[in-house]
């Protein structure tokens, strides 16, 4: 999509709430889908929009943990601002007013608990705001059952106000157009509202939605942008919601791979993170679980019952057997990693055969250090072998079944640590 008026936009993401219905000590926005916090999905959408260049995250409950996540994962594109005390969403925005006092552009306001929002939708939303020359645009959606959502109230002149469910009249509760909780505002025009909002409502809070009424009273142009896919504004308020959002995201991801030529035998038992790339004609067997960011090539075979945990790159024509676990590993073409094996923090070359039950022992529990295993082209491991990192297996080397490798193995060499077999004749008969 081509963006009109290529000027950078700022984002403000509301992430201060406790989320009491999550029944958890952890911040709601740090609960995870495919090992990524909900907030991470929202921040990814803003970054991938191609126009939002910086996000202010409003923190409150578990502020230190949320801030640490932002600093670690999005150090160049985010800053956190503490809302204390927490007196509502309108009050939250006031904590960026000083940062943005000289900013003359648009600000998009989002919630940190809506992980399904897409970058393309944010692009379209900002474009619509600019094309209409609006001062404020509200993202909305049409719901057959709008219960618990704020209603979009209109009059003959257009958008008039947003009324929260608890404050709505019986007539207003019949409205099916609801507030999606995402806004695009011309900052210099709308920011004065956050110093003038009132808290005369059922909750005694300062609602961000009241800025619509404020803008209308000031004679500013307000509009709405009706969402095409209502799933995108699915908010997470409970563990049930978390499970539902995970399923929605997985269904979308699986459909994308099916459309792109990946064979997925049983979509109902297959879970694939949206950051995973998979090549054409790759076969995904049932009960495969893939999290994190991964790249799987063409004509591979994965599973059944395989677990890929992130930072995994698999070249073409690779077989990953049943009950295999991979983490932070690269596997070159035409290699087999057979059943019941664990490969972590490893590089495996082309044409290798990793025997059943092979373990790369990458973690030292005393030093807390993870070390790397390198297995070069054509090398093979026998069943029930253990490779204690850091170690290198040279090209075409072989590790015998039942062996424990603790030092480098030269090319074309055989590593063998198996004890000599002792045979006691007639032992069973004598017993």
Q: Catalytic residues, which ones?
A: 339
- What is the sign of the dihedral through the CA atoms of 332, 334, 340 and 341? negative
Q: Which residues touch 293 (CB under 8 Å, ≥6 apart)?
A: 273, 275, 276, 310, 311
Could you give the CA distance from residue 352 to residue 140 in angstroms, rounded to a whole number? 54
Q: Which residues touch 57 (CB under 8 Å, ≥6 apart)?
A: 13, 15, 39, 43, 66, 67, 70, 78, 79, 80, 81, 112
Q: Are 78 and 54 in contact (CB under 8 A)?
A: yes
Q: Are 41 and 32 in contact (CB under 8 A)?
A: no
Tokens of 285: 């067997």
Buried-exposed string 324-340: b where 16+ CB fall within 10 A, e elsewhere: bbbbbbbbbbbbbbbbb
Could you give the CA distance from residue 158 to residue 352 in angstroms, rounded to a whole number? 67
Q: Which residues touch 269 (CB under 8 Å, ≥6 apart)?
A: 286, 287, 288
**3-state SS class at 166:** helix
Q: Are 302 and 282 in contact (CB under 8 A)?
A: yes
Nearest residue to 119 via CA among 38, 35, 37, 50: 50
């Amino acid at each position: 999509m081509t963006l009109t008026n290529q000027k950078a936009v700022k984002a403000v993401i509301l992430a201060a709430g406790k989320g009491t219905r999550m029944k958890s000590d952890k911040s709601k926005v740090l609960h995870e889908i495919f090992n990524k916090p909900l907030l991470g999905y929202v921040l990814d959408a803003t970054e991938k929009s191609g126009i939002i260049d910086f996000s202010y995250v409003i923190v409150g409950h578990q502020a230190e943990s949320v801030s640490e996540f932002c600093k670690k994962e999005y150090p160049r594109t985010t800053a956190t601002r503490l809302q204390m005390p927490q007196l509502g969403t309108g009050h939250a925005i006031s904590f960026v007013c000083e940062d943005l006092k000289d900013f003359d552009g648009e600000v998009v306001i989002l919630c940190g608990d809506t992980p399904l929002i897409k970058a393309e939708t944010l692009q379209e939303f900002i474009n619509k705001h600019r094309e209409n020359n609006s001062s404020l645009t509200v993202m909305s959606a049409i719901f057959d059952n709008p219960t618990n959502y704020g209603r979009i109230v209109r009059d003959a002149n257009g958008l008039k106000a947003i009324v929260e469910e608890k404050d709505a009249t019986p007539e207003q509760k019949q409205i099916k157009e609801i507030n999606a909780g995402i806004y695009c505002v011309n900052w210099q025009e709308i920011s004065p509202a956050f110093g003038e909002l009132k808290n005369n409502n059922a909750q005694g809070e300062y609602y961000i939605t009241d800025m619509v009424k404020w803008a209308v009273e000031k004679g500013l142009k307000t509009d709405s942008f009706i969402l095409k896919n209502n799933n995108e504004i699915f908010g997470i308020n409970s563990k049930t919601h978390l499970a539902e959002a995970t399923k929605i995201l997985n269904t979308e991801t699986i459909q994308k791979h099916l459309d792109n030529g990946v064979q997925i035998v049983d979509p109902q038992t297959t879970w694939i993170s949206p950051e995973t790339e998979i090549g054409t004609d790759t076969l995904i067997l049932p009960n495969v679980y893939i999290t994190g960011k991964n790249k799987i090539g063409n004509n591979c075979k994965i599973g059944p019952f395989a677990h890929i945990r992130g930072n995994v790159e698999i070249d073409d024509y690779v077989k990953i057997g049943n009950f295999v676990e991979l983490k932070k590993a690269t596997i070159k073409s035409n290699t087999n990693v057979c059943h019941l094996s664990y490969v972590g923090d490893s590089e495996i070359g082309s044409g290798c055969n990793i025997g059943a039950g092979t373990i790369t022992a990458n973690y030292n529990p005393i030093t807390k250090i993870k070390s790397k295993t390198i297995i070069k082209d054509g090398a093979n491991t026998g069943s029930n072998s253990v490779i204690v990192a850091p170690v290198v297996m040279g090209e075409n080397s072989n590790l015998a079944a039942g062996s424990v490798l603790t030092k480098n193995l030269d090319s074309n060499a055989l590593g063998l640590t198996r004890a000599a077999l002792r045979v006691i004749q007639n032992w069973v008969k004598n017993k």
